[in-house]
């Protein structure tokens, strides 16, 4: 034996323990022979685990500690296994041992492998009179890869409990010493306490049973899962109760729920002050025999829009005879005070019903109500009652007599409204007839001698049918003249204030009399504009009015025609003046219409001509002084020769002398 230790197996240069410490060249790897490499700073180990296609697997390291180079192994796997199991032997040589299995981590070996136990726990219920505790069934899951556990309760719809994951996945402590639950602690038929709650394990799945038995654990027989007594009670069918002999309010509610009888009624409140007929709707609820009355409001009916006249309630029909000491006013009416309540048979179309002191006349109902009464009571007559108000006869309005102030239309407005408005004017008529005025010369008919020679201008305004009278001033007459009548509408004699009739242009003819507020005026002349206006609007005026104006202007037209026919105008004017001087004492008016009638009477042949002798006889009948030489001369100028005088020219000659 040598004095020093035997040299151990040599190591290759650069190899070591991975800590940067190794023996020097040719030195054994023993304490004191190691040399620390100060340049080495990385000491990590290479990864030997990986995943491929979702599965974990192990592989040989490609680098040494800290990234050192690994030399390729020159020995086979079998030789390496022999070296690992080789030991020193003295007699029988080397002992062969089986090769160790390859190392696999737990999270790879037990990946996606879970033990599942069916369990339940008892929970105390302190606030319910129907149950004192409840049984809650859960599932306990044990994950073999990291020894974690979780508790999940299946969710039940409308259970009212917080269900689902009751305990999250983690390693559950077992005791106060810091130990954790292991799969070796789990078995069937045991109580498992976690966080103060005790779970009873009653069953497990097939994988759990096979795994435990493979690990040498004897699995206890499974137990029956305990059910919740309150849940089982709810699942049992409810026995049908015996129907009582009397009416069942609950059955009535289920049968007639949401079914309402609707009646249309009228509440007559006219006996009270400011009373009226109130349209109402009566609702009878078949579910609980209650009645509700709603008032139907119309727009601008003057009442507050409260929808409910009587709230929904049971209404008494007949009261029990009350004692004398019973108060007349009670807050609530019970069945002891009421002998009979209102029912559907008390309501019918055309019947009056008194509800809480108010009488309602039912005049109609809806279709559902008709079907209900037809099916249950056999009533088929549902003829509606006519409740429409008869139109009130309006009292005739008496218009007071006209008092003379203003025009009648303006005064009438004070009788029609509290705040009178001016009468409406015909704007279209005013625009069409603006500045159109008919002027007439009138004479005042008066017994006063001073008024016989007074002449007036009567103006008729077509825009508003008003009349104004103006008197031209005459010097040294003693009458100042000026405006005689303010512009106003004038009524005809005999018209009433209720139906006034005003003067119109058709009433003004030559020789007619116009009465203006008690004064009588005779029309003696007219403006040429009057004739032109009447001829342009001949369809709007009577033929007599137009003919009167034409006859009045005809002599003037004869003078113009005579002057234009070749007769010297100066001689004709002188002759007319001389005739008028001789006839100035003749005051009788000349009636042209009657003169024409007499002319036609003597013209038997209808030729329109008379000889001078007959013509002079006609003039004598009308008191025309034809004996004057000047008048005969004037007739000769207007004759047609051959001792004949035509109707037109003869009338013109006499008219020139009598009118001009």
- On the 0-12 / 13-18 / 19+ scale of CB atoms within 10 A, 427 is exposed
Question: Residue 577: what pLDDT?
Answer: 62
Of the CA atoms within 13 Å of residue 550, those in its CB half-sphere come to 10
Residues 6+ apart with CB under 8 A from 190: 200, 201, 220
- On the 0-12 / 13-18 / 19+ scale of CB atoms within 10 A, 521 is buried
First to last CA, the chain: 197
| Phi-psi group of 411: left, alpha or beta (phi > 0 → left; psi -120 to 50 → alpha; rest → beta) | alpha
* Cβ atoms < 10 Å from Cβ of 197: 15
Reading the block at residue 291, the tokens are 């009645």
- On the 0-12 / 13-18 / 19+ scale of CB atoms within 10 A, 46 is middle
> How far apart (Å, rounded) are the C-alpha atoms in residues 416 and 395?
14
- Distances in whole angstroms, Cα of residue 445 to Cα of each of 14, 244, 469, 516, 522: 165, 111, 15, 11, 7
> How far apart (Å, rounded) are the C-alpha atoms in residues 317 and 341?
5
- Distances in whole angstroms, Cα of residue 216 to Cα of each of 147, 209, 211, 212, 452: 18, 11, 9, 7, 161
Residues 6+ apart with CB under 8 A from 601: none
Residues 6+ apart with CB under 8 A from 110: 143, 144, 145
The torsion angles phi and psi of 170, rounded to 5 degrees, stand at: -170, 170
Pair 370, 362: CB distance under 8 Å: no
CA dihedral sign, ordered 633, 639, 645, 650 = negative
> How far apart (Å, rounded) are the C-alpha atoms in residues 33 and 22?
8
Facing residues of 445 across strands? Answer: 520
- What three-state secondary structure class fits 612? helix
> How far apart (Å, rounded) are the C-alpha atoms in residues 212 and 611?
167
- On the 0-12 / 13-18 / 19+ scale of CB atoms within 10 A, 139 is middle
Closest to 541 measured CA to CA, from 507, 592, 510: 507
- On the 0-12 / 13-18 / 19+ scale of CB atoms within 10 A, 74 is exposed
Reading the block at residue 520, the tokens are 């009588």
DSSP 226-279: PPPHHHHHHHSPPPPPPPPSS--HHHHHHHHTT-EEEEEEEEE-TTSTT--EEE
Positions of the chain with pLDDT under 50: 1-19, 585, 587, 630, 658-660
- What three-state secondary structure class fits 332? coil
Pair 192, 186: CB distance under 8 Å: yes
3-state secondary structure 550-583: HHHHHHHHHHHHHHHCCCCHHHHHHHHHHHHHHC
pLDDT in tens, 72-94: 666 677 777 777 766 655 555 55
Of the CA atoms within 13 Å of residue 570, those in its CB half-sphere come to 0
> How far apart (Å, rounded) are the C-alpha atoms in residues 522 and 510?
8
Residues 6+ apart with CB under 8 A from 313: 290, 291, 292
Residues, the chain, total? 660
Closest to 523 measured CA to CA, from 560, 557, 483, 552: 552
> How far apart (Å, rounded) are the C-alpha atoms in residues 365 and 282?
9
């Amino acid at each position: 034996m040598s004095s020093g230790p035997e040299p151990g197996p040599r190591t290759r240069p650069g190899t070591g323990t991975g800590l940067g410490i190794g023996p020097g060249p040719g030195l054994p790897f023993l304490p004191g022979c190691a040399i620390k490499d100060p340049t080495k700073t990385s000491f990590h180990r290479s990864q030997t685990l990986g995943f491929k296609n979702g599965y974990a697997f192990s592989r040989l390291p490609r680098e040494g500690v800290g990234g050192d180079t690994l030399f390729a192994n020159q020995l086979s796997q079998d030789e390496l296994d022999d070296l690992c199991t080789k030991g020193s032997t003295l007699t029988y040589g080397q002992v062969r041992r089986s090769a160790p299995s390859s190392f696999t981590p737990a999270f790879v070996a037990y990946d996606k492998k879970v033990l599942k136990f069916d369990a339940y726990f008892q929970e105390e219920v302190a606030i319910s009179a129907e149950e004192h505790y409840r049984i809650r069934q859960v599932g306990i899951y044990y994950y073999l890869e990291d020894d974690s556990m979780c508790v999940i309760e299946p969710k039940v719809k409308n259970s009212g409990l917080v269900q689902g994951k009751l305990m999250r996945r983690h390693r559950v402590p077992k005791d106060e010493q810091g130990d954790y639950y292991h799969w070796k602690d789990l078995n069937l038929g045991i109580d498992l306490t976690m966080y103060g709650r005790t779970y009873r394990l009653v069953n497990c799945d097939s994988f759990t049973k096979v795994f435990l038995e493979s690990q040498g654990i004897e699995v206890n027989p499974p137990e029956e899962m305990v059910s919740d007594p309150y849940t089982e009670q709810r699942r049992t069918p409810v026995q049908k109760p015996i129907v009582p002999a009397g009416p069942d309010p609950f059955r009535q509610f289920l049968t007639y729920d949401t079914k309402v009888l609707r009646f249309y009624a009228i509440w007559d409140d006219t006996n009270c002050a400011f009373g009226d007929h109130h349209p109402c709707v009566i609702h009878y609820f078949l579910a609980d025999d209650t009645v509700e009355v709603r008032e139907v409001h119309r727009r601008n009916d003057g009442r507050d829009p409260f929808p409910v006249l009587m709230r929904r309630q049971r209404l008494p029909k007949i009261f029990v005879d009350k004692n004398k000491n019973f108060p007349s006013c009670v807050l609530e009416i019970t069945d002891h005070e009421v002998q009979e309540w209102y029912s559907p048979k008390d309501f019918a179309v055309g019947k009056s019903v008194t509800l809480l002191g108010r009488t309602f006349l039912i005049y109609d109902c809806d279709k559902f109500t008709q079907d209900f009464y037809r099916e249950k009571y056999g009533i088929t007559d549902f003829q509606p009652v006519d409740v429409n108000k008869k139109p009130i006869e309006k009292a005739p309005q008496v218009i007071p007599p006209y008092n003379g102030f203003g025009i009648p239309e303006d005064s009438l407005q004070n009788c029609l409204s509290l705040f009178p408005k001016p009468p409406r004017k015909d704007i279209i008529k005013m625009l069409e007839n603006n500045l159109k005025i008919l002027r007439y010369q009138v004479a005042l008919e008066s017994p006063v001698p001073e008024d016989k020679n007074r002449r007036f201008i009567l103006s008729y305004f077509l825009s508003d049918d008003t009349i104004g009278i103006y008197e031209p001033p005459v010097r040294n007459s003693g009458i100042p003249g000026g405006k005689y009548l303010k512009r106003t509408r004038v009524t005809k004699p005999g018209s009433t204030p209720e139906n006034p009739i005003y003067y119109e242009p058709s009433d003004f003819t030559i020789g007619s009399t116009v009465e203006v507020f008690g004064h009588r005026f005779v029309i003696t002349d007219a403006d040429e504009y009057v004739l032109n206006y009447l001829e342009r609007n001949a369809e709007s005026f009577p033929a007599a009015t137009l003919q009167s104006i034409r006859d009045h202007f005809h002599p003037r037209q004869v003078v113009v025609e005579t002057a234009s026919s070749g007769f010297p105008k100066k001689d004709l004017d002188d002759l007319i003046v001389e005739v008028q001087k001789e006839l100035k004492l003749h005051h009788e008016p000349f009636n042209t219409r009657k003169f024409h009638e007499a002319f036609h009477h003597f013209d038997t042949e209808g030729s329109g001509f008379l000889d001078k002798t007959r013509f002079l006889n006609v003039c004598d009948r009308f008191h025309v002084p034809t004996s004057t030489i000047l008048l005969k001369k004037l007739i000769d100028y207007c004759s047609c020769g051959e001792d004949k005088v035509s109707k037109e020219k003869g009338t013109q000659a006499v008219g020139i002398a009598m009118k001009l």
